[in-house]
A and B are shown apart, each in its own frame.
Chain A
């Protein structure tokens, strides 16, 4: 029982971070219909920003550095959108994919030139600290903090999308770009905000993982794939779906590692993924649009 509770709990906690990565990707897809293959690399840039902030003489804590990473990554994402992505919005899908893959490669190789390919490990005082919740179940402190931050950001994002004018304009753009434009919404600006937000979320996820994971220039590919599974599983473009998808993947990985085999956990995740697509091709929360 302790093993079950332990793995369920760590699954949920790690799933929270997965959700954050997925939400970023789904937001970008929802508004632009562009599949962002550089998502993992954007996350990697967020990790290196956190690393820089931590190793600079200010010694900023990785969790506090979210306050810096979020706005910086927002600007970075907005810049990418304005300079690159906006130009291919009406191009064929292959061109968009090639562009984002290319941007991702440039990011990871630039970072490799600057920081070399060495693994960077952030060792905070709490990196391996835990507290006992009873019954032999322990909770990793950094994982819990990152889960709480993720929850706060997700709730704030819902509020922003549902209640504010800009949020509603973003949703309108996602629903129908042409109609939104006819209603007087500046869709190009909405795209910049959406890509900025998506990048900021990915960067934040990077910052949140940094104290418990390791950082290297090619780390993005691991998370790009994961983000896709989460997004498609939840329904492309659905923020609620991505949240659900992230946590679901976290729990599935964790439980299948214990009850089947950790070597098979990716297989289980992809089988689950295929099953969902088989019975609900638009994803868990997706609305198929024709």
Chain B
């Protein structure tokens, strides 16, 4: 009897099928970045459904970091020591991800970051930190390359939010344009939440740049474009690096968002396996258009949960399996590789899109293109 009981306990505790896989999620659920965080939440919820269908018993532990690194860090401490999760998916912003990455290494918890752009996060030689999305250097190079293939820009102006995401993206962009012989004529950062950019934009206008490169989250992207129109800033192209320039809200502001070029990790019509179905299911379930963050989060959770299950809920084994694995899904081919100083970084293909007739249309690379690009930027009406 006692032997049987022990055997039962042993099966229960070692059987990966019966034991729930405890995975932590750190995300920005409230706070200023919450609208984008919501995409990540919804993406993970869809992954949870699909994992249930695959018979994976998943238990998610949700933590809200409100977009603040210090709260993100305490969430990670809690997940690692109190909840004993196998792995963590998140956080959203670069600042939070960067702060949490060192803790993941300290507690030896596999961390899969779905959508934070700052390069340094996967350049610290950390063994337990993985990243799904392409980092900031790709944002910059894909946009500049797009502009160079469409025209002959000679000068560029930068305006970006003075957070980790804004400064790191524009820094790599500045390094990149230097190699391409494009002159930087203005370099302006701004504090988050400011209401008035007119003076900064007027100054940029006086330099008459060929390209205007912007890095912003959701609300500011609309304000920047509105006020660009007010002051009559007229470059050959407006380049928006991810985040705020890739949301449905932005595209809906037709008067000011039309013809803006942006780069993204994912589009609804890309021919990666399951991408179109994901888009359809997302719209049906949540009544909204998914952003690339949703797809990144979905793919991250699928990979993390399956790997955790196959590794029997062991952190070190999960880490090794993530490192060795190869996947193909809504985000295309995923492999966490070491290259160019990055560790455990998925070398993801960025897509360049333009808003044409109020829709995001993929314009580059050409094998994914759905429409021909509009260049140069038409005169403001």
Contact = CB atoms under 8 A, between A and B. Distances in A.
Interface in A203-221: 209, 212-214, 216, 218-219
A6 B195 contact: no
Nearest to A13: B196
A254 interface: yes
Contacts of B255: 123, 127-128
A165 interface: no
Contact of B223 (A14, A214, A253): A214
A2 interface: yes
B273 interface: no
Contacts of A138: 230-232
B78 to A, nearest CB: 22
A81 interface: no
Nearest to A255: B199
A118 interface: yes
Interface stretch (B69-77, B128-136, B186-194, B347-355): B186-194
Interface string A39-64: 00000000000000000000000000
A254 B223 contact: no
B366 to A, nearest CB: 33
A214 B256 CA distance: 15
Interface stretch (A65-73, A229-237, A238-246, A260-268): A260-268
Given A119-B249, A263-B190, A213 B195 contact: yes
Interface residues of A, number: 40
Interface in B223-244: 223, 226-227, 229-232
Interface string B260-279: 00000000000000000000
A7 interface: yes
Given A117-B38, A118-B249, A216-B35, A257 B199 contact: yes
Nearest to A267: B191
Interface in A254-280: 254-255, 257-258, 261-263, 265-266
B253 interface: yes
B193 A222 contact: yes
A128 B226 contact: yes
Nearest to A123: B253
Interface in A1-40: 2-3, 6-7, 10-11, 14
B200 A262 contact: yes
The A interface is mostly helix, strand or loop, or mixed, namely: helix
A166 interface: no
Contacts of B231: 6, 130, 138
Contacts of B191: 262-263, 265-266
Contacts of A112: 30, 34
B31 interface: yes
Contacts of B206: 2-3
Contact of A214 (B37, B38, B219): B219
A119 B231 CA distance: 24
Contact of B190 (A117, A130, A216, A257): A257
A140 interface: yes
A121 interface: yes
B270 to A, nearest CB: 25
A253 B191 CA distance: 11
B189 A262 contact: yes
B31 A119 contact: no
Interface string A87-125: 000000000000000000000010010001111010100
B377 interface: no
Contacts of B249: 118-119, 121
B379 to A, nearest CB: 15
A134 B229 CA distance: 17
Contacts of A254: 196, 198-199
Nearest to B34: A117
A257 B222 CA distance: 19
B199 A11 contact: yes
Nearest to A250: B196
Nearest to A14: B196
B199 A258 contact: yes
Given A138-B232, A222-B193, A263-B162, A117 B30 contact: yes
A262 B229 contact: no
- Going nearest first, the 10 A-B pairs with the smallest beta carbon separation are A7-B199, A263-B189, A117-B34, A214-B219, A262-B190, A10-B198, A6-B202, A222-B193, A263-B162, A128-B226
Given A128-B230, A138-B231, A257-B188, 9 more contacts: A7-B203, A11-B196, A109-B30, A118-B249, A119-B222, A121-B249, A123-B255, A218-B34, A263-B189
Interface of B: 30-32, 34-35, 37-38, 159, 162, 188-191, 193-200, 202-203, 206, 218-219, 222-223, 226-227, 229-232, 249, 253, 255-256
22 contacts: A3-B199, A6-B231, A10-B198, A10-B199, A119-B222, A123-B253, A123-B255, A127-B226, A130-B230, A138-B231, A140-B227, A140-B230, A212-B223, A216-B219, A218-B31, A250-B196, A257-B188, A257-B197, A258-B199, A262-B188, A263-B162, A266-B191
